[in-house]
Each structure stands twice: as structure tokens, then as C-alpha cells.
Chains A and B, each alone.
Chain A
Amino acid sequence: MDITSNPSSESQIFDSLRLELRRGCLIVAVLAQLRVEHYGYTLRKALADQGLAIEESTLYPLLRRLETQGLLTSQWREEDKRNKRFYKLSSEGELILTQLLAEWNSINDSVNNILQNSVLQTPSQR
């Protein structure tokens, strides 16, 4: 099937691939942002302010999952007369984040190299 002739199909494929691409990046971003303590709502705002908008229904359960995996610690604390659950990167989370960042940088470098090489090769192939 020729996807270029079907804009909705093309858009669906892009959305699906974008979701795949973002999934891993979001975890890295959340872990990195939680080097500073946040509760759910302020974390979401902080990520959005830096251009990484993320749905509440994705972020809040993600925080709990990362905590279950031992990458985050949390505690209930009162702020502005309201109880809130604050999350922070654990020491194990810091270790994992370092490894993930190294992997992310390596992938980034590789993709950049591939892109540069493909740009150089394209004119000769035509």
C-alpha cells in the first residue's frame, strides 16, 4: 500500500513511531528532572516549560513505576497547607540515569553520523 497517497495513514504511522521514539526519552527526562525534588504537578510543569509536554495520565503512573523499580524515592509532605507526594532521584536512579545518558548520547552520535553520511552520499547517487 502506498502510504504517501493516504494522509491519515501517514499521520497514524508517524504518531505511532513518534510515541515509540518519545517513550524512552521521557523516562530519561523525568529521571534527569528529578535530580531536583518535585511533586507530580510541578514536575509536569517543569518538563513542559522545557518543551517536553507529557500527559498527566502518563506521567503520574510512570513516577510510581519508577519508584517501584527503586529509581525514585518519595515522601508525603505538607506544602501550602496541602499534603503532596514529592519524588526525588535515588542513588540507584542516579546510576541508571548516568548509564542511560551515555547510551542516549551514543545513539544520538550514531544517528548524527548516519545522517551526515547519507547527506554526503546522496548527490553522488543521483
Chain B
Amino acid sequence: MNPTNPTIDLLERYLQAIGQSLPAATREDVLNELRANLTAQIDDRAEELGRPLTEPELAAILKAHGRPEIVATRYLPQRSLIGPTIFPFYLLTMRRVLPFVVAIYFIANFVKIAATQHGLSSVAGGLVDSAFGIIPVLFVWLGVMTILFAILERTYDKFGKEWCLDEWNPAKLPPVKPQGDKKQRSLANRIADLAFHCLWMAYIIEVPRHPYLLFGPGASFIARLQIGWAPVWHTFYVALWFLLLIQLGIKIANLFPAIGRFSTPLDLVSKWFGIVVAGWLASAGTYIVATGPGADLHKLAVVNHWMGISFKLVVAFMILDLGMEAWKYVRPRLPTARLAF
């Protein structure tokens, strides 16, 4: 076909554009039918006007008929990567698995940092790298999960009946959760919490003067080894006191219901400060030093190394705990998506 009439040319260009998005098997048939229908419409309009259509008039008819790519899409079978039957299971799995992926990633990274990095700057650098490193990990995980569920979607028609997605037992549903964010603790409980915290502070005051409070009968044995605390502990002791004072303030504030609603954010802040203190301690490297010529320096170095790793692991768990607590606090406050029809 070699159209010379500009209106026919426009129609053919429109049909060609539709054809580009149609499968080869049905393309000609669909285009012939569309051509017949559109030509009949053009003829009708021309008959109404008593003259052939101008190019803008034809363009208006084609525009009303729809954008070529969208028209072509309507001739294709409805497609979705994950359909409405599988999608709720996809969403549920993603929500359940996400915390484990994040936890495993950070634990693995912190163990790696603890074993390989030394010094405050290298530990801090490793932590920052880990924080940014999770982004590509999450993208890969999201991609893999989506591909797996897309495969399930494709195979659902064939094997879906065997998966028994519709089979469920109401009796196996979890029990109803208590209403509200968190049940308010009783006043007696909060007073007891404050009292134990005061006792804990008194214990911390006495430990430097009475080492047996920390080591028990082993304190005299340690004294004979000619080893002592490194200077880092003196600074740590001051920081620990500062942290305990913050916690004391929070526990006193918890006694008053008006302030009590800020207890979780204040707890989170104190946990964050605890992480800073523990992180600083973990990066120190030397915890026990020789106090006399009889100390075994090689063993001392090994003990210091493993104490450093232990502190780094503690920091990792503290960060994980803070993350989980922060998520628990933030999650109910996130805007929920509106239900769609």
C-alpha cells in the first residue's frame, strides 16, 4: 500500500504505531479490523459533514480512539508480575523476612569488623561502610524474592491447587494482642525499677574500691598475676556514671504519667549513648596492663585481643537491639496505606 491521501497516510501511521506493540501472530488481523472500524467511522463523519475529513479532523478521531501503545496493550492478555492471588503472600513474606535479612547482614558485618578492624577510626569507618552496604544487599534480596514469586505466579495455574493456599484453619490463628501500644506498667513496678537502679549505681561506686565485688574470690588471684586495669577504664567509668545518671533521670520521669509517654524515646536515647560508650571501649584495644615484671606479656596481648572482639560483639548486639526497639516504636506511627477498591 502506498497512500497518497494525507488522511489515509495518517491512519496508516496510527495503525503502524499500534502494530509495533502487538504480537506478530495476531497483528495483521487486529490491524485489519481496526482499519475497517476506523474507516467506517471516518466515512460516517465525512457523510455528516458532506465533505472529506481534513487532517486535523482525522487526528481528532484517532486521538479519541487512544494512544497507540495503550490501544495495543488492551489487545494483549492482562499481565502482572505478581497477581492478586500471590501478592498478599509476597508482601507477607517480605515483611516477615526483612528483619532477619537486616539482622544477619549486620551481625555478619560486625563480626567481620570485630575480627579485622582495630582503632576507633577504622571501626567507625567499618560501621559506616556497613550502613551503606546494606542498600545494594536489600536491592538484590528484593530482586531475588520478586523473581521467585514471579515464578510462583507463572506456575500457579499449573501447580497452584497443590499449594493449598486457600486451606487454613481459624483455630490456628494467633491470640488477640492486647490493645494499645504497650500496657502501662504499675506504679509499684516503676518504683521497684528505680530502687534496683539505685542499688546498681551503689554497686558500680563500690567496684573500684572492692574488686571482689566483680571477681569474687578470684580477685586475690588476679592481684598475684601483676596485672591491672588500663587507663581506658577510668574514662569508661566516668562515661558509665554519666549514662547511669541519664537512666536514673528517665526512671524518675517514668513515675509521672505525664512524662511517661516520652519514656520510650528517652530509653532509645540512653541506649544510643550506651552504644557510643561501648563503641569507644571496644575501639580502645588495651584493657589490662602489666603492673610488675612477673606478668606474661604474650598472654596479656591475647587476652586484650579477645576482650576487644567481645566488646565489639556486644556493640553489635546493642545496635541491633536499638534498631529493633526503634522500629517497634516507629512502626505503629507510620502512615498506613489506604485500602484500595
Contacts and interface: CB of A to CB of B under 8 A. Distances in A.
What size tier do the contact residues of chain B reach? 10 to 19
Which of B30, B36, B37 has the most chain A CB within a 10 Å cutoff? Answer: B37
A20 B341 CA distance: 9
Given A17-B341, A20-B341, A64-B75, A56 B70 contact: no
B36 A39 contact: yes
B37 A41 contact: yes
Contact of A57 (B40, B41, B65): B65
A24 interface: no
A49 interface: no
A58 interface: yes
Nearest to B74: A61
A16 interface: yes
Interface string A45-78: 1000000000111101100100000000000100
B33 interface: yes
A84 to B, nearest CB: 5
Contacts of B33: 40, 60, 85
Interface of A: 16-17, 20, 39-42, 44-45, 55-58, 60-61, 64, 76, 82-85
B200 to A, nearest CB: 49
B66 A55 contact: yes
B227 interface: no
B278 to A, nearest CB: 45
Contact of B65 (A56, A61, A85): A56
A61 B36 contact: no
Interface of A is mostly: helix
Nearest to B66: A57
A60 B66 contact: no
A8 to B, nearest CB: 16
B235 interface: no
B341 A61 contact: no
Given A16-B341, A17-B341, A57 B74 contact: yes
B34 interface: yes
A37 B341 CA distance: 36
A85 B40 CA distance: 12
Contact of B39 (A16, A20, A82, A85): A82
Contacts of B66: 55-57
Which of A41, A57, A61, A82 has the most chain B CB within a 10 Å cutoff? Answer: A57
Contacts of B74: 57-58, 61
27 contacts: A20-B341, A39-B36, A39-B37, A40-B33, A40-B36, A41-B38, A41-B40, A41-B41, A41-B44, A42-B40, A44-B37, A45-B44, A55-B66, A56-B64, A57-B65, A57-B70, A57-B74, A58-B74, A60-B33, A60-B34, A60-B37, A64-B30, A83-B32, A84-B36, A84-B37, A85-B32, A85-B33
Contacts of A84: 36-37, 40
B71 interface: yes
Nearest to B65: A56
Contacts of A41: 36-38, 40-41, 44
B75 A61 contact: yes
Which of A20, A41, A58, A82 has the most chain B CB within a 10 Å cutoff? Answer: A41
A17 B70 CA distance: 22
